[in-house]
Structure 1
């Protein structure tokens, strides 16, 4: 069984890498760096590991803090690699495309790469220097990780972002970066999922996404980049924008309400009946958009973000229809809490592919 070790496991990219590994059924060991570094624990985590991925870094602070911090982190991991009885066969560094631009940050990342490369050569390991562009994705920290996170946070809270200076960005979704770092995709594939967009263009896209989703509608997610932006934005709207209220029209003939209004892309609708006391789901999605709508009966929809313990519950009924969208990378299920059969409609933005189901078992 493969064993992975990570630095920066609790950071933004660490969350996405751990999610990608969970999809493959691979657990990872976290290695602390900086002041919390424990040399013996680091060696133990690396011993017998098939791959170590160095994610931790310093990209904010004074010039000295950035320079010293990045080299310190790399040196701590390099020392542990050399000391391990059975060092990892592959050493991966989450580098930056800025490592060649001559900046203080870029130079510090280049130095960190050189330090890890020397360690790999000493133990006969493969070294992969993965230069990543601007990353975006679910649960990035606003005003820190990336401009996308800041825009999403502000728009989700009803504020209008301000652009001081426009520039061109090269963007990659964090799940695509994770696939690259864990070896699920090649460098060529990584190049193909990068998108160039201006800061103004990014804000325009996100503003349109926010306005559409504020109406409870699904924006055009036909392109993978637009789907990824939408999923990123959604992570800043949950739980305060859930559930989505649906307009129910009733007369002597019965009742009618819309469950989904999508503005573009593929889609699949399905329907289930669930007997009292039965639970469906207990899985998560990495990229798939999924909506639950109870048509008749009573249910509790439960969600939990991966690698956390807090659980969110929504009690829903067919008498007062609402839609609840499942955030990506959140485990979720639905339980019939009523005395009668539960009728539920499901919608996802893609036709189910059993070879690539993007439905990973995970108990809430």
Structure 2
């Protein structure tokens, strides 16, 4: 199976890639902020499943939340549509999507866009609102209360 992973260099992405490879999945299309943007078109033409993990959670400017969390989701879905690819899409969101703050609003906007995409294309979509995640490659004082706690007591 050809799997596209956006946000592939992030905490969740790195862990997902390790797990998929341990299960024998080798056709992984890795897309991150450093990836040549033109590759997105070829990846979305050929992929059979999308793990959309890319997002912004610590911007310099609050407007980057919407650009990164909604804007890139829009770019990804437009590329899938352009390539007439209705493969399943899984997006990681946040429990913050239920709250009235810039980050939460941007995550909710991305979710809503994905649900509209599903209605329009018939694609199967999955939204996972993750609470505090923890594990290998987690960084203290960044976005994990557990990693920060462990770091501070060590």
Tell me the TM-score range normalised by the shorter chain: 0.7 to 0.9
- Residue pair 1:134, 1:146 contacting (<8 A) in 2 also: yes
Q: CA deviation at 1:48?
A: 3.4
Equivalent residue for 2:23? 24
CA distance in structure 1 between the aligned counterparts of 2:39 and 2:89, rounded to whole angstroms: 18
The structure with the largest helix share of the pair is 2
Which residues of 2 match residues 107-186 of structure 1 at below 5 A? Answer: 107-156=105-154
Provide the rounded CA distance (Å) in 2 between the counterparts of 1:79 and 1:100.
25
TM-score by length of 1: 0.39
The answer to whether the aligner puts 1:82 opposite 2:94 as a matched pair is no
Contact 2:86 2:122 survives alignment (8 Å): no
Q: Please report how far the alpha carbon of residue 36 of structure 1 lies from its aligned counterpart in structure 2 after TM superposition.
A: 5.2
Q: Deviations over 1:190-238 (max 9, x none)?
A: xxxxxxxxxxxxxxxxxxxxxxxxxxxxxxxxxxxxxxxxxxxxxxxxx
Task: Please name the residue that 1:73 is paired with.
Answer: 72
Identify if the C-alpha distance between structure 1 residues 36 and 76 changes in structure 2 by more than 3 Å, giving closer, same or farther: farther
Alignment check: 8 A CA contact 2:9 2:32 kept? no
**Greater Cα radius of gyration, structure 1 or 2:** 1
Residue 128 of structure 1 and its aligned partner are, at CA, apart by 0.7
Q: Does the 8 A contact of 1:3 with 1:49 survive in 2?
A: yes
- Cα deviation 1:263-321 (Å, max 9, x = unaligned): xxxxxxxxxxxxxxxxxxxxxxxxxxxxxxxxxxxxxxxxxxxxxxxxxxxxxxxxxxx
Out of 43, 46, 52, the position equivalent to 1:45 is 43
Instruction: Structure 2: state its 5+ residue gaps.
Output: none
Structure with greater proportional strand content = 1
The root-mean-square deviation of aligned C-alpha atoms, in Å, is 2.0
SS of the residue corresponding to residue 143 of structure 1 reads coil
| Distance across 1 between alignment mates of 2:44 and 2:9 | 18
CA distance in 2, matches of 1:88, 1:23: 27
**Corresponding residue for 2:54?**
56
- Measured in 1, the distance between the counterparts of 2:63 and 2:130 equals 23
**Structure 1: where are the runs of 5+ without partners?**
157-364
Q: CA deviation at 1:26?
A: 0.9
Displacement of 1:141 after TM fit? 1.6
TM-score (norm 2): 0.87
In 1: Cα distance, 2:53 partner to 2:86 partner: 16
C-alpha displacement of 1:122: 3.2
Distance 1:69 1:105 in 2: 10
Q: What whole-Å deviation, never above 9, does each CA across 1:138-158 have from its counterpart, x for those lacking one?
A: 1112211312222333444xx
Q: Alpha-carbon deviations, 1:47-71, whole Å to 9, x = none?
A: 2322101101111123222222212
Partners of 1:6 and 1:54 within 8 A in 2 = yes
Alpha-carbon separation, structure 1, partners of 2:86 and 2:15: 21
